Amino acid sequence: MATVACVRVNVHGDPPRPSTGHGSSALRFATYNTSLYANDAGGLVARLERGDPDARRIAAVLQRVRPDVVLLNEFDFDAAHRAADLFQQRYLGEAQAGGGDALAYPYRYLAPVNTGVPSGLDLDRDGEVGGEGRSRGNDAWGFGLHPGQYGMLLLSRFPIDEAGVRSFRKLAWSAMPDARQPRDPATGQPWYPAEAWSRLRLSSKSHWDVPVRTPAGTIHVLAAHPTPPVFDGPENRNGARNADEIRLWREYIGGDAPWLCDDAGACGGLPADARFVILGDYNNDPVDGDGDHAAIVELLEHPRVLRMATPRSEGAVEAAARYPDVARRGAPAHATGDYGPRVGTLRLDYVLPSVGLPVTGSGVFWPRTGAPGAELVGASDHRLVWVDVAGGTD
C-alpha cells in the first residue's frame, strides 16, 4: 500500500542542493517542457547555432536547479543528435546569465518519436492523405509538421542501461484492452475506419522505460508526453488518446500486461520489485482544464506510486491571480504552467516516484515576480518540476 512521505516543499525559487541529512545526497529528478522546437526540419539546430535566447534561459533554469536526471519535452529530435550536442556544449556547458555554473550530463537518451511521421492514412478524415501544413500534421502518427518535432531528450548524471531500454512507440492503440476507440457522435460508428484503427499507434510521441544506474541502484525512468486532449472535434479523438496514453503507464506498472509489447517485441509490464520515476508533460490536470481527469488521478493514486506532497510554487499563485475570470477548482500553487488568459494556469507536468523511493523535497521552479530567477521562466509556457528522493551518496 502507498505511504505518505514527509517532505520539504520548496516555494521560494532556487531549491537547496538535496541532502538526506545523514551524510548522503538525495537524487533530484525533474521534468521540463522546454518549447525548444521549430516548424521546419532542422529549425531547432539552426536556432541553437545562432545563439537562441530562450534556450539560454532554459539552460539557466537547469543550471539553477541542477537535476541529476531530467526529461526535456518538446525538444526536437534529429537523427544526428546535433541539437542535443549543441544544447549541452553551448548552453548547459557554459554559465548562462541568471543561471549557475556550467552543467554537464555525461549520459543521455533520445530516439525517434511519432510526431510528424507520415502514417499514409487519412486520420483526420478530410478526404486526403497528408497534404500541407496542419493537414499533413494531422495525418502523421502523432501531430507534427516534420518528423521529430516535439521530441524528448533525457539527460542524466548517471549511466543509462541502454540495453535495458524499452520503447513503446509503435504499439497499436487497438492492442490495449478496452481501448477508448473514438466514435462519431452523429452516427455512433467508430471515427477511424477499421484499417486505420488497426494500425494507429497509441503513443503520440513515444513511451520510454529508461533504466538509470544511480548510486541508489537502478531506477526506471518512465518518460512520455501524451497528446493534448484538444484540437479535435465532437468525436474527442485526442481526449481519448490522451487518457489511454496515460493509462499505458498504469497498465505497465500494474501487472503482467501481456498485450504491452515494446518495439523490440518483448511483452509484459514492469517487474513488481522495480523502482521507477514517471516523468513528463501529461497534458492533463487532475481537476481543471480539458481532458478526462480520472486518467491522471488514477495514475496519481496507483498503489505503486508514492503518495507525496504536490510540488508547488509562489509564482503559480501569483500567475493564477492574473486570470480572475478563469474558474479553477485546483490549488493555484500546484500549477506547472501559464497558458494565457483563455486557459489560465494548470498542473500538467509530473514527477512521480514509486513506493520505495522516499521523497525528501519537491518544488516547481516558478519564482514570484522580482525574485531571483523570475526573469527566466518565460522561455516556455511550462515550468520545471523537481522531486528529490533519498538514497544517493556524496
The arithmetic mean of pLDDT across residues 112-129, rounded, is: 94
DSSP 94-108: SPPTTS-S----SEE
Residue type, 377: V
* Cα–Cα distance measured from residue 358 to residue 311, given in angstroms and rounded to the nearest whole number: 15
What's residue 132's pLDDT?
85
> Does residue 18 have a pLDDT over 90?
no
C-alpha cell at 106: 555525461
The arithmetic mean of pLDDT across residues 67-87, rounded, is: 98
Are residues 24 and 393 in contact, defined by beta-carbon separation less than 8 angstroms?
A: yes
Gyration radius of the chain's alpha carbons: 20
* Cα–Cα distance measured from residue 347 to residue 281, given in angstroms and rounded to the nearest whole number: 9
Number of H helices, E strands in the chain: 8, 14
The arithmetic mean of pLDDT across residues 263-287, rounded, is: 97
What's residue 133's pLDDT?
85
DSSP 232-286: S-TT-HHHHHHHHHHHHHHHHHHS--TT-B-TTS-B----TT-EEEEEEE-S--S
What's residue 25's pLDDT?
76
What's residue 13's pLDDT?
56
Of 48-57, 125-134, 285-294, 365-374, the range with the lowest mean pLDDT is: 125-134
Q: What percent of the chain has pLDDT over 90?
A: 90
Q: For cell 503518495, what's the residue? A: 307
The arithmetic mean of pLDDT across residues 277-300, rounded, is: 97
What's residue 22's pLDDT?
33
The arithmetic mean of pLDDT across residues 41-57, rounded, is: 98
Ordered by start, the domain boundaries in the chain are: 26-390
The arithmetic mean of pLDDT across residues 191-199, rounded, is: 96
Mean of pLDDT over the chain = 93
pLDDT band, very low/low/confident/very high, at 186 (cuts 50, 70, 90): very high
Contacts of 111 (CB under 8 A, 6+ apart): 77, 167, 169, 206, 208
Are residues 88 and 49 in contact, defined by beta-carbon separation less than 8 angstroms?
A: no
Residue type, 160: I
**Nearest residue to 5 via CA among 335, 357, 364, 313:** 357
Architecture of domain 26-390: 4-Layer Sandwich (3.60)
Using alpha carbons, list the distances in angstroms from residue 380 to 48, 55, 56, 58: 16, 9, 12, 8
pLDDT single digits (tens) 138-155: 999 999 999 999 999 999
DSSP 190: B
**Nearest residue to 218 via CA among 279, 270, 159:** 159
Residue 74 CA, distance from chain mean position: 9
C-alpha cell at 293: 481527469
Write out the H or E segment, with its range, that includes residue 217: strand 217-224
What's residue 392's pLDDT?
52
Are residues 34 and 380 in contact, defined by beta-carbon separation less than 8 angstroms?
A: yes
Q: For cell 501487472, what's the residue? A: 255
Are residues 99 and 59 in contact, defined by beta-carbon separation less than 8 angstroms?
A: yes
| 280 φ/ψ angles, rounded to the nearest 5 degrees | 140, 170
pLDDT band, very low/low/confident/very high, at 84 (cuts 50, 70, 90): very high
Write out the H or E segment, with its range, that includes residue 350: strand 349-353
Q: Is the pTM of this model over 0.85?
A: yes
What's residue 7's pLDDT?
41
Q: For cell 521549430, what's the residue? A: 38
How, if at all, do strands 69-75 and 152-156 pair? antiparallel
